[in-house]
Amino acid sequence: MAHTADNIYYVPHTAKWPLIGSVGLTLLLGGFAAYLNGAAVGANLMWAGLAVMVVMLFGWFGTVVGESESGTYQSWEDKSFRIGMAWFIFSEVMFFAAFFGALFYARSLSVPWLLGEGSGATTHQFLWSAYTEFWPTNGPEDWGDSDFHMGWWPLPFINTVILLTSGLTVTWAHHGIKDGKRGPFILGLFLTVALGFLFVFLQAVEYKEAYHEGLKLTSGIYGSTFFMLTGFHGLHVTLGAIMLTVMLFRAIRGHFTPERHFAFEAAAWYWHFVDVVWLGLFLFVYIL
Amino acid sequence: MNAYTGTADEHLDHDHGDHHGPAPGYLRWVTTTNHKDIGTLYLWFSLLMFFIGGAMALIIRAELFQPGLQIVDPHFFNQMTTMHALVMIFGVVMPAFVGLANWMLPMMVGAPDMALPRMNNWSFWILPFAFALMLATLFMEGGGPAAGWTLYPPLSLQGGDSLPFVIFSIHMLGASSIMGAINIIATIMNLRAPGMTYMKMPLFVWTWFITAYLLIAVMPVLAGAVTMLLTDAFFGTSFFNAAGGGDPVMFQHIFWFFGHPEVYILILPAFGLVSEIIPTFSRKPLFGYTSMVYATSSIAFLSFIVWAHHMFTVGMPLVGELFFMFTTMLIAVPTGVKVFNWVSTMWRGAMTFETPMLFALGFVVMFTIGGFSGLMLAMTPIDFQYHDTYFVVAHFHYVLVPGAVFGIIAGVYYWLPKWTGHHYNETLGKWHFWLSTVFVNLLFFPMHFVGLAGMPRRIPDYAVQFADFNAIATLGAFGFGFAQILLLVAVVQSILGGAKATGQVWDGTEITGGLEWTLSSPPPYHSFSPQPVVK
Ligand SMILES: [Cu+2]
């Protein structure tokens, strides 16, 4: 074990940000729900909640960054953060697993059943006997009235190259801080952030093209799985890029040492996670 | 099991500069980062929700007292069945377990506190807000959710204004659970006392460790499922609509991939509690510690590959029906190992029957009844008959009420003297146990009969031949409900005063050991700082 009985684990005395976070979260989600139900006040509540959440995140992380820079945390506390971040990323993996599961279920089970495979023969015959479209499909009632689907060339392929490259630059930055070279650290971070936002931009271009061609969120099960999977991924890329941007500003301010830079590592782990999810997307959503 | 250096008094004397008491006034409870304070908040919240969810159950049972419609209209009845389940699962059993974990895990592993104390505060303080959103739907247009807690589409998409509120409430509850689980994992992995290897950890710590992994693995899947409901309802996706190429049954698959591990989330910590209590009052170490750990792990693993036993009647391919039948029946093996070990622990033990032991014994007997009815339901051809009848209701209430809830109550009585420093009123506790046990069987046992005879669940009316057993069940429900007031009385009395408890509380803990008994009763504000050394 890394510690001895004489070490004192740091336990903060009070925390005011969690309650503020709960208020913000409730305003944000309750407002969104009211908005979905058509209540005029909903959108206002939602934006107010978002503002509270942003303040909360700055306040909470600001406190932790201050404690970290003043040397409050030793390797013992550091390990708790590592465990926490690792299992948080695992929970994110499982969130994506639900949507990948929906994609696999639709492609290999429910759509074939609608087409009459297995025990679906009578369903097919009596419900939608004219339905013959395998995958990609917008369903037997031709939802959204468009059969356009997104190929892997050129934008998705370019985005794959961009994300893989950003995985290299963030590793280069990591080696920089480990060797105590702040130049490569900052440059590597900057390149990673730039590539990340470039990815998000190109994803937006791709969405625009899709909508132009008639592929929408409402285009049946293909549109649903395509936009929900790539959309949630894009959201996570954005979050990861914001995290890395914070790390970039902290790096410029002189934060982090060759031995102690877990905040950066956590953001880098998160970045590799969105990278891996993208590879799954590229394979199962675009190529296959 | 373990030997320790240091005594209760020694730990009290450590007064490092960093030590302090709680913040003054009500702010203590709002801003606290202390595992005991947060555990207390969780447990009180759970007890409050227990009475709210219980009141909903009594509305259901009052309506079912006689055939015909008397008290509530069917739509409100449906809201009550839905909300009762959501409240009891997410508002009572899960928070109670997290509360017990907060109180006891740091003391049991020799830690100063939970590993991530600020996040611990947030895990709790999301809960009241999430339930405010959920309960508020009862007063909205169209009322609360009424499609059952499983939220099956397309029915769940046809309600009033409640849907997005319930979905976001579930998102918040999921976030709270995931943060709580991460905290528990970090505490167990990183804050164990030097010398406490994994295979020296108390069983309650072990079962919670495994439960925390289940939570992290499946709560995000539930979040994904309800997110798809939300986009189907408001953004025009067609995950669960066959016209657009989706499938309503797909929701059931995703939901139950969460749902079955969830039922183990609701029972594994109770296994841990019973595994702590039975050795203490049998004055013998737990029989088969290692096999208990492996049995718990096996149950957790199997829980991921059995989910479709909830869906035998939806029209799965035959190979699916068989696969899920056999995997489900396999769970009986590790569960049987556990029951065998509890009984073997008692074998030739010097047993006494204080209230925690009574509830633990009630757990073993009645959980096993629920386990056996589960085995019956696991068989596909038999499930075709039982599906959606009161037999299913009887089954899961036997594992959840005299199972999970009895386990929690046993844990509360077991550790109450440790928390408050006073023994509870033993006579009152025994009354609580016997009234609960008699009434809970009166409540749920007749449901087996009406279920086997074909009474469908979630319907406010029934055929007259089911009248007698339903009347009995309703009597049992009201008796059980009002008996729980004794729990509140016992807890309040123990907080206010009573016979002083020693550090070790029960004489049996001398044999079974455990770091929590080396601390005074009540324990110091910071549990172990610095840590003890386990030999
Ligand atoms: Cu199940």
What are B235-271's pLDDT values in tens digits? 999 999 999 999 999 999 999 999 999 999 999 999 9
Q: Is the predicted pLDDT of residue B190 greater than 70, yes or no?
A: yes
Measure the CA–CA gap between B413 and B199, rounded to whole angstroms: 27
**Is B345:B284 a contact under the CB 8 Å cutoff?**
yes
Q: Which of residues 189-208 of B touch A (CB under 8 A)?
A: 189-194
Task: Give which of A28, A83, A141 to mutate to test B binding, by max B Cβ within 10 Å.
Answer: A83
**Is B165:A28 a contact under the CB 8 Å cutoff?**
no
What are the angstrom distances between the C-alpha of B117 and each of B32, B214, B293? Answer: 9, 22, 28
Q: Is the predicted pLDDT of residue A2 greater than 70, yes or no?
A: no
Residue of A nearest to B218 (CA): A94
Q: Is the predicted pLDDT of residue B3 greater than 50, yes or no?
A: no
Give the position of tokens 């007749």.
B446
Give the position of tokens 């007063």.
B139
pLDDT in tens, A243-282: 999 999 999 998 888 888 899 999 999 999 999 999 999 9
**Is A154:A282 a contact under the CB 8 Å cutoff?**
no
Question: Residue B375 class from Cβ within 10 Å (0-12 exposed, 13-18 middle, 19+ buried)?
Answer: middle
What are the angstrom distances between the C-alpha of B442 and each of A162, B93, B344, B473? Answer: 66, 22, 29, 6
Residue of A nearest to B28 (CA): A14
Q: Is the predicted pLDDT of residue A194 greater than 90, yes or no?
A: yes
Query: Could you report how far apart the first and last alpha carbons of chain B are, in Å?
Result: 10
Cβ of B119 within 8 Å of Cβ of A18? The answer is: yes
Q: Is the predicted pLDDT of residue A144 greater than 50, yes or no?
A: yes
Compute how many other C-beta atoms are within 10 angstroms of the C-beta atom of residue B66. Answer: 16
pLDDT in tens, B317-335: 899 999 999 999 999 999 9
Compute how many other C-beta atoms are within 10 angstroms of the C-beta atom of residue A98. Answer: 23
Cβ of A95 within 8 Å of Cβ of B221? The answer is: yes
Q: Does B24 touch chain A (CB under 8 A)?
A: no
Average pLDDT over residues B111-116: 92
What are the angstrom distances between the C-alpha of B420 and each of A22, B234, B414? Answer: 30, 50, 12
Confidence of residue B17 (pLDDT cuts 50, 70, 90): very low
Q: Which of B192, B338, B418, B423 is catalytic?
A: B338
What pLDDT does residue B19 have? 52
* Catalytic (active site) residue B413: no
Q: Is the predicted pLDDT of residue A242 greater than 70, yes or no?
A: yes
Q: Where are the alpha helices (DSSP H) in chain A?
A: 17-36, 41-69, 75-105, 111-114, 121-127, 155-178, 182-213, 220-252, 262-281
Q: Which of B35, B260, B418, B448 is catalytic?
A: B260
Q: Does A16 touch chain B (CB under 8 A)?
A: yes
Confidence of residue A6 (pLDDT cuts 50, 70, 90): low
Residue of A nearest to B134 (CA): A30
Calculated CA dihedral for residues A65, A68, A73, A78, nearest 10 degrees: 60
What pLDDT does residue B20 have? 60
Confidence of residue B274 (pLDDT cuts 50, 70, 90): very high
Average pLDDT over residues A84-107: 95
Confidence of residue B9 (pLDDT cuts 50, 70, 90): very low
For B228, the closest of A102, A111, A143 (CB atoms) is A102
Main-chain dihedrals φ then ψ at residue A14, nearest 5 degrees: -135, 165
Task: Give which of B15, B121, B219 to mutate to test A binding, by max A Cβ within 10 Å.
Answer: B121
DSSP conformational letter for B152: -
How many residue contacts between A and B have a Cβ separation below 8 Å?
A: 242
Question: Residue B115 class from Cβ within 10 Å (0-12 exposed, 13-18 middle, 19+ buried)?
Answer: buried
Measure the CA–CA gap between B419 and B42, rounded to whole angstroms: 14
Question: How far, in Å, is the centroid of ligand 1 from the Cα of B268?
Answer: 14
Q: Is the predicted pLDDT of residue B15 greater than 70, yes or no?
A: no
Residue of B nearest to A123 (CA): B242
Q: What is the ipTM of this complex?
A: 0.94
Average pLDDT over residues A46-70: 91
Q: Does A118 touch chain B (CB under 8 A)?
A: yes
**Which tokens belong to B421?**
């420093």
SS3 of B31-42: the string is HECCHHHHHHHH
Question: How far, in Å, is the centroid of ligand 1 from the Cα of B310?
Answer: 6
Q: Is the predicted pLDDT of residue A140 greater than 90, yes or no?
A: no
Average pLDDT over residues A77-106: 94
Sign of CA dihedral B168, B172, B173, B177: positive
Helix axes B485-496, B406-420, angle to 10 degrees: 10
Measure the CA–CA gap between B524 and B34, rounded to whole angstroms: 11
Average pLDDT over residues A60-87: 88
What pLDDT does residue A181 have? 87
Average pLDDT over residues A178-206: 92
Reported residue count of chain B is 535
**Which tokens belong to A96?**
């994506």
Average pLDDT over residues B81-101: 96
Q: Which residues of A touch B192 (CB under 8 A)?
A: 1
Average pLDDT over residues B74-83: 95
Average pLDDT over residues B87-91: 96
Measure the CA–CA gap between B353 and B339, rounded to whole angstroms: 19
pLDDT in tens, A145-169: 777 788 888 888 999 999 999 999 9
**Is B264:B257 a contact under the CB 8 Å cutoff?**
no
Q: Which of B502, B309, B332, B321 is nearest to B418 (CA)?
A: B502
Main-chain dihedrals φ then ψ at residue B534, nearest 5 degrees: -95, 130
* Catalytic (active site) residue B238: no
Q: Which residues of B touch A14 (CB under 8 A)?
A: 23, 27, 31-33
Question: How far, in Å, is the centroid of ligand 1 from the Cα of B309?
Answer: 6
Max CA distance (Å), chain B = 72
Q: Which of A167, A162, A184 is nearest to A175 (CA)?
A: A184
Q: Which of B494, B493, B514 is nearest to B503 (CA)?
A: B514
Average pLDDT over residues B272-288: 95
What pLDDT does residue A12 have? 84
pLDDT in tens, B356-410: 999 999 999 999 999 999 999 999 999 999 999 999 999 999 999 999 999 999 9
What pTM was computed for the model?
0.93
DSSP conformational letter for B286: P
Q: Is the predicted pLDDT of residue A58 greater than 80, yes or no?
A: yes
Average pLDDT over residues B72-80: 95
Main-chain dihedrals φ then ψ at residue A254, nearest 5 degrees: 95, 10
SS3 of A55-123: the string is HHHHHHHHHHHHHHHCCCCCHHHHHHHHHHHHHHHHHHHHHHHHHHHHHHHHHHHHHHHHCCCHHHHHH
What pLDDT does residue B125 have? 96
Reported residue count of chain A is 288
Average pLDDT over residues B146-161: 92
Highest mean pLDDT among A10-19, A208-217, B154-163, B432-441: B432-441
Average pLDDT over residues B183-190: 95
**What is the rounded radius of gyration, in angstroms, for the C-alpha atoms of chain B?**
23
Task: Give which of B239, B255, B316, B526 to mutate to test A binding, by max A Cβ within 10 Å.
Answer: B239
Q: Residue A169: how many CA atoms within 13 Å on its side-chain side?
A: 20
